[in-house]
Each structure stands twice: as structure tokens, then as C-alpha cells.
Amino acid sequence: MIYTVTMNPSIDCFMELSELVEGATNRASEQRMVPGGKGINVSRVLHRFDIGSILLGFTAGFTGAFLKEELTAEGLQAHFTDTPGMTRINMKLKTAKETEVNGPSPEISQDYVSELLRKLELADKDDLLVLSGSLPPSLPADTYRTIAEKTPLKTVVDTSGIPLQKALSARPYLIKPNIDELTALYGQESADTSGAVLLARKAVADGAKNVLVSRGAESALLVSADRVLEAAVPSGTIHSTVGAGDSMVAGFLAGLANGHPPEEAFRWSIAAGSATAFSESLCSKKLVEELLPSVSVNEYKEESV
């Protein structure tokens, strides 16, 4: 079983408008509200691949109730813990560009993390744990590390900044930084492909078993102690990149769950990320399957590192 943890979920409110004028009343032509938060997106994509997961994390208020209702109606196992406050609303504004305004998290006390750990005691040692998204600011920055260390489960961590840096020492099976998150982790402004490989290798040296680096339309890398793989990303028309990174995590896990080796799971990951970027919402299995043949993975040339 796969457990996804979304400590700071959201309702994602997508609005389309011709332009966004600061300081004016802007009117949207389209509006759509969907469950959001990185772990939730991973579970929703896994479900499209017919892979079950248990969704953990914290929900609050009527927005939290909406989230649980929607996810349950979709056939997902939403086992969230209710907390005081209100699950946030994240605005996703689509003009010619994508602008996001993510709401603040409710205050979550340490007691709720203890309750989450109790729920994880029911997991089997062969289960997989996905810890995704921002941490509520009321929790310590090492919360993911603490959770990863307290469970015997293979762990995937998809977060950024200090929570990511701290999680490395818990030796996660996989981390999935985008290029900005990876460079920020090591205090750099930017990195080209060889720079990204160097930084991903540092993350491996610091504890990650596999580092899946997304670089938007440019390429993606899968770096582990013994090899570096590079994949070209399919080209297509972008509708919304919200959840593209989460779809990569889900695609990778779906590939593994279907018995494929990591290099093939990497292809699934790119196909799922791009399928989401080319869709209005999260990817369909059909589009992922259509894109798969166009994703090629190669060993990264060592001499150019």
C-alpha cells in the first residue's frame, strides 16, 4: 500500500481570465474548484493508474469537509485528521501566464503529528510513504525527517527548502526537486544540466537514494549513487502545470508498482508530468500511455559532467 501525507492540503480554485490587472476588479471567465495539495495530487494520479493509496494529513473547517467529500466521491481512501481552523484555498490564475496565490495553513500542533504517526503504525513494513508539499509553519522544519525516521517505510519526500534539507538525513528512497528547489537547496542561483547533475549527486551523498530532478520543458534527470539518466521531455501545448511535479512522483511510483525497473519508471514519470502539463487538470492514464513512446531515456555522458 502507498500512504500519501498532505500536511497542508488545499482547495485549488482555478480561474481563467484574459488579463490580470493589479489594483482592479478582475472578472474570470471560468472557475473550477478541485482538491489540492501535493500528496493528494499524487494519490489522485495513482488512482487513475488503478493504484490504491491511503490519504493522510490534516483537514479543517468547511473547506476540509469539501475536500474529503470530493476525494471520497472519487473513490479515494481519505483518512485525514480533523484539526481546528480552515483548510486553505489556493488560487490558480490563468492568463497568458500562470499565477498562484497559496493561502496560509491553519495552525497544526505537534499532537496532530503524533496522531498521524499512530495511523502510520498500521502500515506494513513493505508499504511506501509519500511526504509531499509545504509544512504548516506551526510545525518544526524537521517534521518530515522525524516522521521518516519514526517509520520503517520506504519514503518519498517532495518538498523544498529547510524541510527538504533536513529530510535528507532520514535517507529517503526518492526526492523530487524541480531545478529551482535543487539549486536553492545548495545556495545556488541556477544550474545547467551538468550543474544539476553535480547538485543531485550532492543530494545523494547527503542521503537521498534517488533524486528525480524536473527542469520544466528542458529535460529531467534521475540520479542515484551508480548512475545518471537524462530524459527529454515531450513537446506539446501547456494548459496548466499545476500538479505536473506531483504527477511525476505518481508516474514513477506507478511504474515501479507495475514491476518496471527505475529507468522505465522514470519514463512513466516524465510522461505523467507532461500529460498533466498538457491537460486542464491532472493527467489521464490514456494520455500518459500515448506520450510514453515519445519519452526516451539515456545514460548521461560522464565525460561532460
Ligand X SMILES: O=P(O)(O)OC[C@@]1(O)O[C@H](CO)[C@@H](O)[C@@H]1O
Ligand Y SMILES: Nc1ncnc2c1ncn2[C@@H]1O[C@H](COP(=O)(O)OP(=O)(O)OP(=O)(O)O)[C@@H](O)[C@H]1O
Residue 246 among the catalytic residues:
yes
Q: Is 220 helix (H, G, I), strand (E, B) or coil?
A: strand
> How far apart are alpha carbons 63 and 59 in whole angstroms?
8
The identity of residue 50, as a single letter, is D
> How far apart are alpha carbons 39 and 184 in whole angstroms?
22
Task: Output the smallest distance, CB 91 to ligand X, in A.
Answer: 9
Quick note: the x/- pattern for ligand Y over 224-263, rule CB under 6 A, is ---------xx-x-x--xxxxxx-x---------------
Q: Among ligand X, ligand Y, none, what does residue 139 contact (CB within 5–8 Å per kind)?
A: none
Q: Is 163 in the site for ligand X (CB under 6 A)?
A: no
CB of 211 closer than 8 Å to CB of 228: no
Q: Among ligand X, ligand Y, none, what does residue 1 contact (CB within 5–8 Å per kind)?
A: none
> How far apart are alpha carbons 6 and 80 in whole angstroms?
9
Residue with cell 476525494: 71
User: Residue 56 burial (CB < 10 Å; 0-12/13-18/19+)?
Assistant: buried
Q: Which residues, numbered 242-271, are part of the site for ligand X (CB under 6 A)?
A: 242-243, 245-246
Q: Which residues, numbered 182-221, are part of the site for ligand Y (CB under 6 A)?
A: 214-217, 220
Q: Among ligand X, ligand Y, none, what does residue 215 contact (CB within 5–8 Å per kind)?
A: ligand Y
Task: Output the smallest distance, CB 265 to ligand Y, in A.
Answer: 14
Number of residues this chain uses to bind ligand Y (CB under 6 A): 21
CB of 258 closer than 8 Å to CB of 285: no
> How far apart are alpha carbons 121 and 148 in whole angstroms?
12
**Interface with ligand Y (CB under 6 A):** 178, 214-217, 220, 233-234, 236, 238, 241-246, 248, 270, 273-274, 277
Q: Which residues are catalytic?
A: 246
**Interface with ligand X (CB under 6 A):** 8, 10, 12, 36-38, 41, 90, 102, 133-134, 242-243, 245-246
